[in-house]
Amino acid sequence: MTVIQVVVFVLVAVCGTAVVLMREPYRQTFLLSLYGLLLSMLFVILAAPDVALSVIVVGAALPLMILTALRIVGKHST
């Protein structure tokens, strides 16, 4: 395992934990997209660019969907 692999592994672990621990939905969504970015970096470093692209795509779609859902929920609850 090279140094950069270790660094990105640790970053992914830290960010993943942060996503779980964050209780505020909006901030959690932004952390989630950061987590997706880190995860895709990890896959690029591990020489799996195809998987990395899938992660980027899911990482782009999921926060967008959550944000929209939050907006709709917020609109109806007020």
Query: Which residues of this chain interact with other proteins, rule CB under 8 A?
Result: 1, 49-50, 52-54, 56-58, 60-61, 64-65, 68-69, 72, 75-76
Q: How far is the CB of 33 from other proteins (least distance, A)?
A: 13
Q: How far is the CB of 72 from other proteins (least distance, A)?
A: 4
Sign (positive or negative) of CA dihedral 19, 34, 45, 61: positive
39 touches 58 (CB < 8 A): no
11 touches 33 (CB < 8 A): no
Nearer to other proteins, 27 or 68 (CB): 68
Distance CA 43, CA 8 (A): 10
Nearer to other proteins, 23 or 76 (CB): 76
Nearer to other proteins, 13 or 65 (CB): 65
